[in-house]
Amino acid sequence: MKYAVKMTGPVEQVLRAMLEDAAVPRYGLEISKQAGLEAGTLYPVMARLEGVGWLESSWEDPAVSISDGRPRRRYYQLTKDGAEQARLALAEISSRREKRRLSLSTVQPGPLGASL
């Protein structure tokens, strides 16, 4: 199946992190840590996912950041369709990996030094 987003490793990592609790909005640094990605990798992925409608984002209330003495945070959350598409895409990836793993485990190497 083709998805609106190219399923790269970083995209997969972000989706897995976001799906841990799809109903909870998270800010960039939180997602970065959870997904194990640097900001320079994370934010282009977030922009792509938001561009195709899998994510939505919003800025926190400025009063909160001012009272906490820090910059405003931008919060991201999977859309209902995005969460569904992400689950399907990740299930497909897992299925392909399992099939590949099984096919590789059935290949038996010949004895060392044997000529073909």
Q: What is the pLDDT of residues 37-63, one digit of tens each?
A: 999 999 999 999 999 999 999 999 999
Q: Of 67-71, 82-86, 100-104, 107-111, where does mean pLDDT reach its minimum?
A: 107-111
Q: How far apart are CA 61 and CA 90, in angstroms?
A: 33
Q: Is residue 96's pLDDT more than 90?
A: no
Query: b/e for 20-38, b at 16 or more Cβ within 10 A?
Result: eebeebbebeebbeebebe
Q: How far is CA 95 from CA 5, 32, 62, in A?
A: 18, 26, 44
The band of 100, judged by pLDDT with boundaries at 50, 70 and 90, is confident
Q: Is residue 116's pLDDT more than 60?
A: no
Angle subtended by helix axes 9-19 and 28-35, to nearest 10: 110
42 by Cβ neighbours in 10 Å (0-12 / 13-18 / 19+) ranks as buried
What's the sign of the alpha-carbon dihedral 48, 52, 60, 34? negative
Please provide the average confidence, as pLDDT, over all residues in the chain.
Answer: 89
Q: What's the pTM?
A: 0.79
The total number of residues shown for the chain amounts to 116
